[in-house]
Each structure stands twice: as C-alpha cells, then as structure tokens.
C-alpha cells in the first residue's frame, strides 16, 4: 500500500477529500502522516478525527528554511512516506527538499497553470478578467507551480464573483481531481516525459 504524507497550512478541505476517497474505497492508499507548518489549524483536527498521525513543524520556531525542511524530511522518512501531497501548503520548498522526493511530490493549485501561479491565484484571476479558471494537479519541480501537469478542471468565472465565490466553485473541482490524480499515481499510470505527464 502506498503511503502518503500530506502537508497543509490551514483548513485542510483538500486533505479531507483524500481522507474521504480512501474511506469510500475510491483510493487505495494510506495517509501515514499529516504535517503542518502552523499550529492549531483545522487540517490537524481533521487528521486527528480520522485517526491519522499528525504533527506541526512550526516554521516560526525553526531557525531557518534548512532546519525547517530537515525536520519535515525526518518526519516523512520516519513514516516511510512514498508520495508527498501538498494540500494547501503555502510555503515554497527548496530544491534540496524537492530532490529528496524527486517526482514524488504533488501539488494542487487553484488556477489553470501556467496562468496565475503564486499565492493569490483567485485575486489575480479576477483582476485580470479571464472568463474561465480552475485548478491544476501537478508534480512539483524546483520552480514555483511549474512542474509537469497531471490533471486540470475548468470552471466559469461569473459576473459578480468575488474571491470567496470563485474559490468555492474551484474547490468543488479540487476535491474531485486531487484524489483522482493520486489514484492514477497509485495505479502506476503516470509517466513523466520531460514537461509532460502521460496517463497510461
Ligand atoms: C486550495 O484552494 C488549494 O488549491 C490552495 O489552497 C487551498 C487550500 O484549501 N493551494 C494553494 O494556493 C497553493 N499555492 P484547503 O486548506 O481547504 O485544502
């Protein structure tokens, strides 16, 4: 059974969609560990409620990025994690971390990449005035939101949308495609060829 390590920073609704997919028998994997970079966030409660090992590596209590990531890596290795899942994890990981789990880190981003990378996708989408947005699951490479794309879903941007209403519409799709993309990985159906991910 593939062991997942899910890393979050806040609410954890994407984490919940993975917990639910496993519970419903739609995803054959085990969440070995949930890690957060902040204390007292809802993601920790969700993990606790589901009986999943969880802990916070508080970035603010770490001297620097190197020691923060060393702690994360220690925990992931101790839990024998095969695939790292970034689920609303709002920190950029260094090339050292990415290399440690090369081609074994997935992220979900709330826009149709390569459009609107970064921490404020919905705000940027609304400011730009595009009519379609969505979400992207991709492998993490050493850039920001730039790795090979696994799956995307589109939603309309509606007249009168604000960040909250757009985020809610996009989240519905996130909760469908993230478990589905992880399932493809678990089934060994994702082949990375340069920038492209072939689904076999
Ligand atoms: C999700 O919309 C996810 O796509 C986004 O944060 C939200 C987390 O929600 N991630 C990023 O913006 C990463 N740059 P959640 O905490 O309820 O899962």
Residue 89 Cα: closest atom of ligand 1: 13
User: What is the Å distance from ligand 1's center to 110 Cα?
Assistant: 7
CATH number of the domain enclosing 97? 3.40.50.170
Taking the C-alpha atoms of residue 179 and residue 20, their distance in angstroms, rounded to an integer, is 9
End of a domain among 101, 127, 147? Answer: 101
- Pick from 40, 88, 78, 84: which is nearest to 60 by CA? 40
The answer on 45 and 68 residing in a single domain is: yes
**pLDDT one digit per residue (tens) for the chain, 200 residues:** 999 999 999 999 999 999 999 999 999 999 999 999 999 999 999 999 999 999 999 999 999 999 999 999 999 999 999 999 999 999 999 999 999 999 999 999 999 999 999 999 999 999 999 999 999 999 999 999 999 999 999 999 999 999 999 999 999 999 999 999 999 999 999 999 999 999 99
Cα atoms in the 13 Å half-sphere on the side-chain side of 135: 22
Structural domain including 58 reads 1-101
Q: Contact at 8 Å (CB) between 178 and 108? A: yes
Testing ligand 1's pocket by substitution, the residue of 6, 12, 110 carrying the most ligand atoms inside 8 A of its CB is 110
Q: Do 74 and 145 have their domain in common?
A: no
End-to-end CA distance of the chain: 20
């Amino acid at each position: 059974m593939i062991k997942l390590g899910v890393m979050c920073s806040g609410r954890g609704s994407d984490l919940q969609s993975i917990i639910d997919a496993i519970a419903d028998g739609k995803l054959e994997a085990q969440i070995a560990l949930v890690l957060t970079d902040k204390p007292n966030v809802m993601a920790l409660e969700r993990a606790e409620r589901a009986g999943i090992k969880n802990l916070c590596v508080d970035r603010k209590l770490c001297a620097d990025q190197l020691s923060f990531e060393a702690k994360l890596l220690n925990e992931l290795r101790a839990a024998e994690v095969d695939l790292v899942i970034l689920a609303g994890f709002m920190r950029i990981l260094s090339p050292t971390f990415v290399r440690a789990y090369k081609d074994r880190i997935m992220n979900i981003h709330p826009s149709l990449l390569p459009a609107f990378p970064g921490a404020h996708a919905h705000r940027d989408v609304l400011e730009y005035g595009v009519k379609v947005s969505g979400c992207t699951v991709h492998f993490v490479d050493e850039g920001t939101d730039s790795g090979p794309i696994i799956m995307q879903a589109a939603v309309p941007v509606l007249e009168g949308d604000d960040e909250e209403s757009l985020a809610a519409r996009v989240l519905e799709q996130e909760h469908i495609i993230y478990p589905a993309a992880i399932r493809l990985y678990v089934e060994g159906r994702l082949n990375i060829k340069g920038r492209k991910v072939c689904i076999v």
